[in-house]
Structure 1
């Protein structure tokens, strides 16, 4: 893990990219399902807020192994959530 600062920047960037892609979907597709796209955006914002909160409050501050495990789990969970959101968006695009 590089740094908490870089992790937070990555969280912000990935969330912004997902939101931008959802907005592009609504803009460019005539038969776009706006409600589902807004739901994906809403979930992305919730996931972003939870990830930033988890990054700001690590478990076991006194034990470096616990802190490292905490941040590794955070990265894993966030990337998994982003992948799931993109899978939902992909379903919308294919419809």
Structure 2
């Protein structure tokens, strides 16, 4: 991982991709608004938690601990984005 700044940009980019896809789906299918807004809400909460984790790492003195910490943040980012896209995909399939 290169830097915290780059990780924050990745978090923002992926989170806002999920949100923009949700709003596009919501525009085309307004009858599922509550379910789509729940996905958006969960994505925003996840994004805020990940940014807070990036800003306050554990074990600042030990580089191995820091690397493992940021790797876990990156893994959680992909897991959360994948879950959000899966929920949206399931909504699309039911339509």
TM-score (norm 1): 0.95
Shift of 1:29: 2.6
Higher helix share: 2
* Structure 2 partner of 1:78: 77
TM-score normalised per structure 2: 0.95
Task: Provide Cα deviations, 1:44-68, integer angstroms capped at 9, x if missing partner.
Answer: 0000000000000000000010000
Per the alignment, residue 22 of structure 1 pairs with 22
**Across the two proteins, how many residue pairs are aligned to each other?**
94
The offset of 1:28, in angstroms, is 1.5
- Detail structure 1 runs of 4+ shifted over 4 Å in the superposition: none
Q: Which runs of 5+ in 1 are unaligned?
A: none
Give the match for residue 49 of structure 1: 48
Calculate the aligned-residue CA RMSD, in Å: 0.9
**2:88 paired with 1:94:** no
Unaligned runs of 5+ in 2: none
